[in-house]
């Protein structure tokens, strides 16, 4: 699980760092961090996708959010598997058997009233 999270987090960190540095043109002498290359990358992606270049950052953000939600779901299921399975079992164990009529199921169900 540790490697799964590392392999997800490192590209997200690199993409976010590149985007923020190149968007504000903090290039430190590197062409890859320049605003010109930033705009060129999004023009190329826009042409490949057939959308305007201004829409591409929003699409990338949506993709990152969906991927992050999937990773969070996988992590939750991984670490809370026993609780989730116990909850599912308790949901199905509380139901009446299918072959028992509804009246019998009500009469055998525990009473919630305070009267004896």
| Domain count of the fold of the chain | 1
93 against 107, higher pLDDT: 93
> What is the average pLDDT score of the chain?
86
23, part of any domain: yes
pLDDT in tens, 16-57: 999 999 999 999 989 999 999 999 999 999 999 999 999 999
96 is a domain residue: no
Torsion of CA 46, 48, 50, 55, to 10 degrees: -20
Query: Is 108 part of a structural domain of the chain?
Result: no
Asked, for residue 114, whether it belongs to a domain, the answer is no
The reported pLDDT for the residue numbered 88 is 87
Among all chains, which residue has been given the structure tokens 């079992």?
89
More confident residue, 87 or 45: 45
Structural domain including 8 reads 2-89
Is the residue at 67 inside a domain? yes
Note whether residue 83 is domain-resident: yes
Specify if 42 maps to a domain: yes
């Amino acid at each position: 699980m540790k490697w799964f999270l590392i392999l997800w987090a490192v590209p997200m960190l690199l993409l976010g760092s590149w985007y923020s540095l190149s968007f504000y043109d903090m290039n430190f002498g590197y062409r890859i961090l320049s605003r010109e290359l930033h705009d060129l990358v999004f023009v190329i992606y826009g042409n490949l996708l057939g959308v305007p270049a201004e829409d591409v950052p929003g699409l990338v953000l949506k993709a990152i959010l969906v991927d992050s939600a999937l990773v969070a779901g996988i992590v939750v299921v991984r670490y809370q598997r026993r609780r989730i399975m116990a909850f599912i079992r308790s949901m199905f164990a509380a139901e009446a058997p299918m072959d028992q009529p509804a009246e019998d199921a009500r009469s055998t169900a525990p009473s919630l009233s305070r009267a004896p």
